[in-house]
Amino acid sequence: DGPGRYTINTNFSRRIGSFNPAWNESDDDVDERFHKAMEAADSEFKDKVKYYTGSWWPARKVVEKAMEDRFNVHSSGRVLLLEQGGVPWKEHLFQLEQEQGLEEKECIYYVIYTDQAGKWRIQCVPIRPDSFENRLGLPAAWRGVRDADLESVSGVKGAIFVHASGFIGGSQTKEGIMQMLDVSLKQAKPV
């Protein structure tokens, strides 16, 4: 292993800079390129404002409510129930845990919610918002297993899948997710 030969570096500055002519292109249309860059910047800015004001910020209240109700979801208090999937929860969860002074022995391990098809999901909380390492992964024996095989190995009727890395799993029902949750809390070891 060595340094990668190819990397993707994108940020706002690079995206706008891509409107500049290449070293071997004519710069005759510099005004037109400038206006296209302005349109792109305007569009991206408006999209971000719309996302943060219309989705991301309101999600904080959803996560706050889930934090308040967590002991009603599971006696451990280590699980959040979001009333619907798609809520951008990670950054809010980490911020709220910090604001509430939750110590490692009190932190949230799992978030449960329904997907667009009405099936239930259990998602592990990562050790950091940008990490692929979980605080408490789903059991290793379940990872990469699906449907009847997962029902057999987990003992959970209606279990659908567990991702190969163990960061997310699914069940047909909330009862199934709660069983997966109980087993996970007992068997898995914190990272």
What pLDDT is recorded for position 25?
Answer: 86
- From the list 108, 44, 53, the residue with the least C-alpha distance to 79 is 108
Q: How far apart are CA 92 and CA 114, in angstroms?
A: 19
Provide the pLDDT for residue 1.
56
pLDDT of residue 21: 87
What are the beta bridge partners of residue 161?
A: 146, 170
Cα–Cα distance for residue pair 125/65, rounded to 1 Å = 17
In angstroms, the CA 120 to CA 84 distance is 10
Residue 189 pLDDT: 54
Give residue 52's pLDDT. Answer: 93
Share of the chain above pLDDT 90, in %: 75
Per-residue pLDDT at 190: 54
**Which has more confidence, 129 or 121?**
121
Contact present, 66 and 49 (Cβ < 8 Å)? no
- Percent helix, strand, coil in the chain (nearest 5)? 45, 15, 40
Question: CA 63 to CA 65: how far, in whole Å?
Answer: 5
For 114-178, the three-class secondary structure string (H helix, E strand, C coil) is: ECCCCCEEEEECECCCCCCCECCCCCHHHCCCEHHHHHHHHCCCCEEEECCCCCEEEECCHHHHH
Residue 187 predicted with pLDDT over 80: no
Q: How far apart are CA 151 and CA 175, in angstroms?
A: 13
Full-model pTM:
0.82
- The predicted-structure confidence for 42-91, as pLDDT tens digits, reads as follows 999 999 999 999 999 999 999 999 999 999 999 999 999 998 889 999 99
